[in-house]
Amino acid sequence: MTTDKDLSMDGQSAMAMFAAKGIDVTPNKDQGVVKVVKRQGVDGERPMMGDRVTVHYTGKLLNGKKFDSSLDRKEPFSFNLGKGQVIKAWDISVLSMQKGEVCTLLCKPEYAYGSAGNPGKIPPNSSLLFEMELLSFEGEVLTDDGGIIRRIKVKGDGYTNPNDGATVDVHLEGSCGGRLFDSRDVRFTVGEAEDKGVPLGVDRAMEKMQKGECCILHLKPKYGFGREGKPEYKVGPNKDLVYEVTLKDFQRAKESWEMDLNEKLELASGVKHKGNQYFKAGRFHQAIIQYQRIVSWLEMECGVGMEQQKRIQDFLLISQLNLALCFLRLKEFSHVVENCNKVIELDGKNEKALYRRGEARLLRNEFSLAMADFQQVLQVNSSNRAARAQISICQRKIREHHEQDKKIYANMFQKFAEYDAKVSQFYYANDTNYYINQDALIT
């Protein structure tokens, strides 16, 4: 990055430089943010809306007084573009930069701190000078595991997003390894995109998109076509995918608070059936979406009369048990335990919940807890042969674990004993020499 002297000019000189060399980077070309490139960046992509960008910067008033600098702190500054986390001038100007680029910005008050200023640092209605270097940028991570990364090409309108159950109209273009394999307009229900050959990652991204938005989604295999691939698209197993998606229109599904209990119970039957279909097809992530919808609708409902209360409880028990089974297949054992616990809160002697929790705990190497679960299964149903077999496995695992501990501790104690022996021998030898020397001195 260039030095502070590049910004140490009076207001008149700054205006002259920007008038001669500056580029207006504002969308409506009102000269609100003017940029002068001092060092070209690396040719290639530029940041997009929503990207996480990292910059170094120095900010000054037009009189040359510095009010902030990441360089002085020796720490770059990161923010998400277009999210209102920084002044408007930064959101606009960084979109025009390339990685490694260094530029100087002249920002009018309405694109900076406006009539309020920043008390103690920036007077009201101040134009500002910034020198900025774009160090890096990366797409917005939409999932905890980093499996879906979004880069927004065109920002959408409004503040609402599709929800699970919403009907969406999209244009999508899917590619793998640079080869376009899918290009079409398609309508699907959020949570059921699989039915139209649209991968899970596109489906899950819908809840983050706005009408009119065009984005690029980078999908890991888990959110693409997984281990099976997609033969009709000539996409092999475990392939990363890139989708360009435009959300043309959508109709939101009713939220839980917009429905009465009878409507929820009526919808729950169809949603449960859909979840079961996905489960039987091995589409566990899609099945989870359906069962979670039922839980979100009914977990806070009480019902009127015994019959309605029983229907609510039955739907919740079935949904939580099926969620536990889905997570068991996906090896997400903490979720299995969580869902089984919710079933056991409703029905303390639920055989399936106790058994599935035991399975999850066994696979987490929590052998004693797993054995306790399987023993409770036998208390509920003494003829459950599978639970008896699992108890035998737990007992064997506990014995193996104890034997392993014994070996570890035996080896540890043996090493300690050998070390102590060496230390004792060392001190004995030194003590002997000492006493010999003492005798010599006396003599």
Three-state DSSP class for residue 166? coil
Report CA-CA distances (Å) from 268 to 35, 255, 273, 303, 370: 56, 13, 9, 15, 32
Return d(Cα 398, Cα 365) in angstroms, integer: 9
Domain boundaries, given as residue ranges, for the chain: 11-138, 148-251, 256-396
Quick check: is 67 catalytic? yes
Confidence of residue 15 (pLDDT cuts 50, 70, 90): confident
Quick check: is 442 catalytic? no
Long-range contacts of 387-394 (CB under 8 A, 24+ apart): 387/355, 387/358, 390/355, 390/358, 390/359, 390/362, 393/362, 394/362, 394/367, 394/368, 394/370
Contact 66, 4 (CB under 8 A): yes
Model confidence, pTM: 0.79
- Give the β-pairing of 140-141 and 77-80: unpaired
Q: Which of 18, 111, 130, 188 is catalytic?
A: 130
Which CATH architecture best describes the domain 256-396? Answer: Alpha Horseshoe (1.25)
Residues with Cβ within 8 Å of 435's Cβ and at least 6 positions away in sequence, in order, are none
Does position 417 have pLDDT exceeding 50, yes or no?
yes
Radius of gyration of the chain, Cα coordinates, nearest whole angstrom? 33
Please write the tens of the pLDDT for every residue from 51-90. Answer: 999 999 999 999 889 999 999 999 999 999 988 999 999 9
Please write the tens of the pLDDT for every residue from 319-339. Answer: 999 999 999 999 999 999 999
Q: Class of 148-251 per CATH? A: alpha beta
Please write the tens of the pLDDT for every residue from 105-122. Answer: 999 999 999 999 999 899
Judge if 11-138 and 148-251 fold alike in CATH terms: yes
Residues with Cβ within 8 Å of 142's Cβ and at least 6 positions away in sequence, in order, are 148, 149, 150, 204, 205, 208
Does position 437 have pLDDT exceeding 60, yes or no?
no
Quick check: is 188 catalytic? no
Place of tokens 């000539």: 234
Please write the tens of the pLDDT for every residue from 231-252. Answer: 999 999 999 999 999 999 999 9
Quick check: is 130 catalytic? yes
CA nearest to 89, candidates 46, 133, 138, 26: 26
Confidence of residue 18 (pLDDT cuts 50, 70, 90): confident
Q: Which of 67, 79, 181, 233 is catalytic?
A: 67
Return d(Cα 48, Cα 420) in angstroms, integer: 64
Q: Which of 68, 169, 195, 347 is catalytic?
A: 68
Does position 439 have pLDDT exceeding 50, yes or no?
no
The per-residue pLDDT of the chain, averaged, comes to 90
Q: Which of 18, 87, 279, 355 is catalytic?
A: 87
Does position 296 have pLDDT exceeding 60, yes or no?
yes
Which CATH architecture best describes the domain 11-138? Answer: Roll (3.10)
Place of tokens 């570890």: 408
Please write the tens of the pLDDT for every residue from 179-205. Answer: 999 999 999 999 999 999 999 999 999
